[in-house]
Amino acid sequence: MNRDHVPHSRSHNRYVFDRLHPHVYLAMAALAAWYALSAWAGFGGGSYADYLLVVMTGFLVISVGLPAIAGHVWHRHHLHSRTTAGDFEDWLAGEFDIGQGNRMTARTALVEILLPLAAVAFGMTAFAILARLVG
């Protein structure tokens, strides 16, 4: 059952979404790329370190690529309606169904999803800057 774009009566006609907006997935992929680039910028250059960075980059490519491929396959075989995607601002102003009848604002869900990824990506950037300053 797809409750992607159904208004909820208690929330003053705010839309309730049961999946993430595509922009959120793009932000997650961008933060993974930021992490990889920061790691290469800070720690690349040594032969053994480069080998480990290639392995780390491969894991990141797989962890981003497999869900992207699965989403693409699902998207191609899913019956579309004009109201399913919506505008990002509409998604952000609505509520996000987290399962079992629990909901939170989509803005809060966005922060809770992206904050750990951003912390890791920006933390790696800080480590890369320190590694370049010290080395």
User: Side chain identity at 98, as an amino acid letter?
Assistant: I
- Report yes or no on whether pTM surpasses 0.75: yes
32-85 pLDDT, tens per residue?
999 999 999 999 887 788 999 999 999 999 999 998 898 888 878 876 554 455
Residue 16 phi, psi (nearest 5): -115, 120
Residues in Cβ contact with 49 at an 8 Å cutoff, skipping those fewer than 6 apart: 43
